Chain A
Amino acid sequence: MKLALLAALVGLSFAGSLMTGKSVVPLSAWFSDDPRWWIILQLRLPRAVLGLALGAVLGLSGAVLQGYLRNPLADPGVVGVSSAAALGAVTAIVAGVATGAGVFAAAIVAAAGAMALLAALTWRSDGTVTFVLAGTVLASLAGALTAFVISVAPNPYAVAEVMDWLMGALTDRGWGDVALAGPPMAAGATLLLLTARSLDALSLGEAAARSLGVDLGRTRGLVVAGTGLAVGAGVAATGVIGFVGLIVPHLLRPVFGARPGALLVPSALGGAVLVLVADALVRLVPGAGEVRLGVAMALIGAPFFLMLLLRSRGEAWR
Chain B
Amino acid sequence: MSLPDRIDPRPPRRIYRWDLDKTYLQTEFDSLRDLVRTAFQKAHQKVAVPGASALIRELSENGDSRLCIVSGSPKQMRAVLEEKLKLDGVRWDEFVLKDNVGNLLRGRFRALRGQVGYKLPAILESRVHAPVEAEEVLFGDDAEADAFIYSLFADLVAGRVDERVLSQVLEAGGVYPDDALRVREAWKKIPVGDPVRRIFIHLDKLTPPAHFTPYGPRVVPIFNYFQAALVLLADGHLTAPQVLKIAVEMVQTAGHNIITLSNSFQDLLRRGLPLQQAAVALSQALEGPNKLLAAMRPMPDILAAFSKRLAALGTPPPPPPVQAVDYVSLIHHALPRNHKGRTKPQ
A and B co-occur in one complex: no
